[in-house]
Amino acid sequence: MTCSRSLSVFQTAFRSCFRTTFTSLLLATAALPAAHAAERITLTNGFDLVCDHRVADGSRVRLYTDASSYVEVNATEIASAVPVELPPAAPSAPATASAHAVTATPAPAAPASARLSDAEIHQLLAAPGQVHDLDVDLLAAVIKQESGGQTHAVSRTGARGLMQLMPGTASQLGVSDAFVPEQNVGGGTAYLDSLLHRYHDNLPLALAAYNAGPGAVDRWHGIPPYPETRAYVARVIHEFNRRVAQRHSMAAHSVTQVASAAIK
């Protein structure tokens, strides 16, 4: 495959050459369930999602992920909507459903953390992104949400490093030191790729599983109604959308500059 995987709301498969095509990316952010008065919405791109509520504004529709967060889509992108009832939401995700958790162990004192620049992160992600056919901007969006680029970040549940691998998960992925950036992103990229395979390239579900664990996603038959997980999925996809839009804007600007130079 010669092109990298990226998210487009008008495409359904990450593993085809639309990966280099940028259309409207924001729709996938709507794939966040609420624990009450929810709707299961089928989108024209094939995604099946649940939203808290929606508000029409002309030809646009705001799909709310909670009381205040929403994403706008074209009304024509909604194929169908069916009311659903979800079990009451837990106040927060249980420890066993914590991000990427296989086993939760107390985190050791981490060495002083270094914050990597966007350029350094992109360079670091180039190889694993190519190996797993994942868009580097998607991986960078995950890193921003997970650790803010801090190489020795440690969460309250013991997740470590740039992509916040739990010790058990890291061990299963062959990562001997989660604080080594190359090992961490290699393992984290492989793990996200495995989740995308598991959920048939449904990015919102894969991200929810990365945060809350596959068991929680399977138990709820979708994104679990944990506020932390819903916010996590929305933020990662929003950041991914922003990065891809910026990338295409810069590419278009470069083409315009070349064309202007040629005219002169």
Per-position DSSP letters for 27-43, written without gaps between them: GGGG----SSSEEEEEE
Structure tokens at 16: 């085809």
Edge-to-edge strand order for the sheet containing 78-84? 48-51, 38-43, 78-84
Check 39, 146, 228, 239 and give the catalytic one: 146
Report which DSSP code applies to 71.
E
| Packed helices 136-146 and 118-132: angle between N→C axes, nearest 10 degrees | 120
Cβ–Cβ under 8 Å, residues 33 and 205: no
Backbone phi and psi for residue 89, each to the nearest 5 degrees, phi listed first: -70, 140
Measure the CA angle with vertex 54, ends 52 and 60; round to 5°: 145
Per-position DSSP letters for 218-254, written without gaps between them: HHHTSS---HHHHHHHHHHHHHHHHHHHHHHHHHHHH
Q: Known catalytic residue: 182?
A: no
CA-based nearest residue to 43, from 52, 55, 51: 51
CA distances from 197 to 25, 86, 131, 176, 193 (A): 20, 26, 15, 24, 6
Residues carrying an active site annotation: 146
